[in-house]
């Protein structure tokens, strides 16, 4: 009797082309939708409307007023803390040092309920206001750790000037 060879000796060839097509489609999709996301961060500020805050929380410490003046182009023309005018190259650094010395005198950084009000000229570029907030609210030490200085920051109401 003749025995039939039932074993198929054919090699199974995997079709790579459709897979590679799909993979390239995916790759192209991801490449085109890729967008470098710059890290962003926030300054969290609790700013109730001025009438409500004055009525509810009478502060024991006197309010510090930071005045930011702008020139005609919106560039920074002067920084002032209460009656203390800062001039020179890094007015915000001086402002920071001044506030830090005041806070240190009054019982260590971070432990204060000191409030700072920023009064800026209308046309002043916002980045200077951001610099002022940075100078007021904290500092980064040599180890890269963040220390809080003054947490209560608010803008002066626009109508007052």
Residue count (the chain) = 161
Nearer to other proteins, 81 or 124 (CB): 124
103 lines the binding site for other proteins (CB under 8 A): no
- Sites for other proteins among residues 83-102 (CB under 8 A): 89-90, 92-93, 95-96
Q: Does 60 bind other proteins (CB under 8 A)?
A: no
Give Dmax over CA atoms of the chain in angstroms.
117
Give, as ranges, the residues between 125 and 154 that touch other proteins (CB under 8 A): 125-131, 133-135, 137-140, 146
User: What do you get for the CA distance between the two ends of the chain, in Å?
Assistant: 114
Q: Please report, for residues 43, 45, 73, 84, the alpha-carbon distance to residue 124 in angstroms, rounded to integers and kept in the order given.
A: 19, 20, 8, 20
Of 147, 65, 75, 58, the closest CA to residue 98 belongs to: 65
Report in angstroms how near the CB of residue 140 gets to other proteins at its nearest: 6
Show the site string, 19-58: x = touches other proteins by CB under 8 A, - = not: xx--xx-xx--xx-xxx-xxxxxxxxxxxxxx--------
């Amino acid at each position: 009797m003749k025995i039939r060879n039932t074993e198929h000796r054919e090699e199974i060839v995997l079709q790579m082309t459709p897979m590679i097509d799909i993979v390239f489609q995916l790759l192209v999709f991801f490449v085109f939708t890729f967008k470098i996301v710059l890290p962003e961060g926030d300054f969290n500020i609790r700013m109730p409307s001025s009438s409500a805050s004055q009525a509810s929380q009478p502060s024991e410490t006197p309010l510090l007023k930071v005045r930011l003046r702008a020139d005609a182009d919106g560039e920074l023309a002067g920084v002032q803390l209460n009656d203390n005018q800062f001039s020179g190259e890094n007015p915000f650094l001086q402002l920071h040092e001044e506030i830090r010395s005041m806070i240190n005198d009054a019982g260590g950084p971070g432990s204060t309920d000191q409030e700072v009000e920023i009064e800026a000229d209308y046309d002043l570029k916002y980045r200077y206001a951001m610099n002022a907030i940075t100078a007021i609210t904290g500092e980064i030490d040599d180890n890269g750790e963040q220390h809080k200085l003054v947490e209560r920051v608010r803008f002066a109401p626009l109508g007052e000037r």
